[in-house]
Amino acid sequence: MYTIGIVGFGVVGLAGLKFFIKYPARINKFLGLTADEPVRFVIWDQKEQPVEHAALFAKHGIEWRLAASCSLPSFFAQVDKALVSPGVSLVSAGDLTGKAFCELDLFQHCFAGKSIGITGSLGKTTVTKLIYQLLKRERAKLQRAGNVVLGGNVGIGMLDLLDDAVVAAWAVLELSSFQLERSHAFAPTVAVWTNLYPNHLDRHLTIAGYFEAKSLLFKQQSASAITILGTQLFDENTYDLTIGLLAQLKSALVVAGAAPLTQQFIDRVPCKAWTAFMVHDGLLGKYGIIDGAIVSVQPLLAVSHLPPCTFGDNWAVIFAALDAAGSDCAWLVQDLQEHQELYNPDDQHHRLEFVRRAMEIDFYNDSKSTVKESTLAAARQLARTYKRVHVIVGGLGKGVDRSDFVPMLKLVPAVTTIVAFGKEAPALGAELTVCSLEDALRKIMAIVLPGDAVLFSPGGASFDLFKNYEHRGNCFKELVTGLRA
């Protein structure tokens, strides 16, 4: 009997199992089997078999392999093919990784609609959710056929979207480098890359390796597809890598960001014809460029009128993606201006989230910050409102050099105090270093004055002391809630 393995039983693994059981002919076709060929399922995970799925496992004869007693090479030797969750590294599996496939390629094989794939180091969740909300609202208002679905790295398995009962015209997918690095077939209608900052170097080893994983988003696109690159990718630290990517593109190029569209920037893009969603004379607009000259202009709205729920760079990317999907930009501008309150990425939990005011001090939870650039952005944002900002940093660097983290934070004028906590705290070079989050808040509370802001924005992964960034953020909020009013 043909054996399908599932490596990792989180969001992806569970969605995969449900899909395999519900649509056996579709997974068999993907694997090159006959529609009625019998298969069995075996799952490998580092955790014990979950009791809440015991009935499902018993009904379908699903077997469980615990990592402690079954190595990955041993597991792969027992299966014909395996769906591998993106969070699992296959370094130890060696030559047997040829049996692995990813959810993204299976999704590409089975999904009949069009797709927008979004990746980046910062802001991709916000961009993904706003694209989804705006596209869904516009299609409903203009009575366009087909639903819009949301999935990927937003906590919704892509295979959960492959429901025959839902006719989806568009899928909006947030994609991490882990989800992209094993893909050989995904070809989105619109591919969006917001920015790139060093991250996950414990897995990708180098910034070039990280860039290569992200760039797989574009490799299978056709000439009729559209590629959208954020302006940050043309900065000096990533410029050579970006130019190498442009040389391989078959798709049409769009560059998007809140940066000014200057001749100097235009000259940095070595393409005969491309489109920019950028700023000129204070207006975000759509600009057609041929042979280094602007040949068409479509003003959208003043940068000062962009809704405050996200940054200007993100709005430029959002407009570019929606335009690529066939949306009416004029309608979108009008709707944004008239109904700003309707558009909320709903990810303010743990992203510069206002927790409470206590003793005339404002507390912000930015636990979702897992890279230093995110913390810097949050500190600069608060510096527009507060004269004194006290920052708590920490977490794990995931292979990224964070030696410049604290010096860069000190350059933000309002940053008054920096306290580092956790496993890597001594290496960060903050003036105050403690072991726990409780100790960090205690140190801050001995320094703060009425009117100050306290920013919890670690700039590193949470796994040194917490289950995930949500757990970390909730612990901070509980501590702040316990302070006297």
pLDDT along the chain (485 residues), means of 10: 96 96 96 94 95 93 96 95 94 80 97 97 91 93 89 94 90 97 97 94 92 97 97 95 96 96 96 96 94 96 84 93 95 86 70 92 95 93 94 95 96 97 96 96 96 97 92 96 85
The ranges of the chain annotated as CATH 3.40.50.720 are 2-101
In the prediction, which pLDDT does 346 show? 60
In the prediction, which pLDDT does 123 show? 86
In the prediction, which pLDDT does 347 show? 55
In the prediction, which pLDDT does 348 show? 62
- Please give the CATH topology (third level) of the domain spanning 105-342: UDP-N-acetylmuramoyl-L-alanine:D-glutamate ligase (3.40.1190)
| 2-101 is a CATH 3.40.50.720 domain | yes
172 in Cβ contact with 26 (< 8 Å): no
In the prediction, which pLDDT does 354 show? 93
Q: What are phi and psi of 55, to 5 degrees?
A: -65, -40
**CATH for the stretch 353-481:** 3.90.190.20
DSSP collapsed to 3 states, the chain: CEEEEEECCCHHHHHHHHHHHHCHHHHHHHCCCCCCCCEEEEEEECCCCCHHHHHHHHHHCCEEEECCCCCHHHHHHHCCEEEECCCCCCHHHHHHHHHEECHHHHHHHHCCCEEEEEECCCCHHHHHHHHHHHHHHHHHHCCCCCEEEEEECCCECHHHHCCCCCCEEEEEEECCHHHHCCCCCCCCCEEEECCCCCCCHHHHCCHHHHHHHHHCCCCCCCCCCEEEEEHHHHCHHHHHHHHHHHCCCCCEEEEEEEEECCHHHHHCCCCCEEEEEEEECCEEEEEEEECCEEEEEEEEEEHHHCCCCCCHHHHHHHHHHHHHCCCCHHHHHHHHHHCHHHCCCCCCCCCCEEEEEECCEEEEECCCCCCHHHHHHHHHHHHCCCCCEEEEEECECCCCCCCCHHHHHHCCCCEEEEEEECCCHHHHCCCEEECCHHHHHHHHHCCCCCCCEEEECCCCECCCCCCCHHHHHHHHHHHHHCCCC
In the prediction, which pLDDT does 361 show? 97
- The dihedral formed by the CA atoms of 175, 179, 182 and 183, expressed in degrees to the nearest 10: -40
